[in-house]
Amino acid sequence: MASRFKVCVFDAYGTLFDVHAAVAEHAGAIGSRADEVSRLWRAKQLEYTWTRTLMGRHADFWTLTCEALDVALATHAVDGKTVRAALLDAYRRLSAYPEVPGVLTRLRAAGLKTAILSNGTPGMLRDAVAAAGIAALLDAVLSIEDIGIYKPDARVYDLARDRFGVAAQDICFLSSNAWDAAGAAVFGFEVAWINRGGAPPEYGFAKPAVVLPSLAALPDFVLGREAAAP
């Protein structure tokens, strides 16, 4: 069955790659506050993208990832000397969610282009894609570093439209982050919000076309076999 889309564009962190995998790998060395460290690390990482964009003080995503980890470790009184380097190394090779290779394979078999559009630096994304073994399943890996502005600025989403030379409505955009899904929807993409944690709806002014619990059901939606309401 032919798809009404030409391209599927994926957010990377939290959508294709498990952002909590790094701490999970070293939870024993961190101790009882491991989950709290991981959640704060992620929250601060994103917070810094927004605040730096608003201030016009750009720093790349790897710098912000390091800064956010330092704050998370200090907040929870974890000795960074013993675990910081290991956590950062693990973040460069985060685990992909188990359904990712199969989903990308099905989409490409149906004739769709596939791409990543991420806040991550080109080097971070290259390492993550290589560790997951999915480089051959992607037509492009796009980083905001090309413009030095973080999501959800509209100029970021325009990178994907420009790269493939298609209209916004020809792109299905996938993100596990509600704010990212909303930004993409406002830009004009048709959006699938991958709501892994069963979070309540947000950003009612920019509803996604569909809400899915994982990427596993994505090919059916993209190929018109499923049209779940958000």
pLDDT tens, position by position, 195-222: 999 999 999 999 999 999 999 999 999 9
The pLDDT tens digits of the residues spanning 151-196 come to: 999 999 999 999 999 999 999 999 999 999 999 999 999 999 999 9
Max CA pair span of the chain: 55
What pLDDT does 229 receive? 41
In order of their start, the domains of the chain are: 7-18+95-222 (3.40.50.1000), 21-91 (1.10.150.240)
Rounded CA separation 149/144 (Å): 6
N-term to C-term CA, the chain: 23
What pLDDT does 227 receive? 44
- CA of residue 137 relative to chain centroid, distance: 16
Active site residue 11: yes
From the candidates 11, 18, 170, 180, which is the catalytic residue?
Answer: 11
At 203, the amino acid letter reads Y
Decide: 115 and 140 in contact? Cβ < 8 Å: yes
What lies within 8 Å, CB to CB, of 71 at 6+ separation is 40, 44
The pLDDT tens digits of the residues spanning 13-38 come to: 999 999 999 999 999 999 999 999 99
Rounded CA separation 114/112 (Å): 6
| Stated pTM of the model | 0.94
The pLDDT tens digits of the residues spanning 67-103 come to: 999 999 999 999 988 899 999 999 999 999 999 999 9
Decide: 190 and 169 in contact? Cβ < 8 Å: yes
How many Cβ atoms from other residues are within 10 Å of residue 6's Cβ? 16
DSSP character for 141?
A: E
What pLDDT does 224 receive? 81
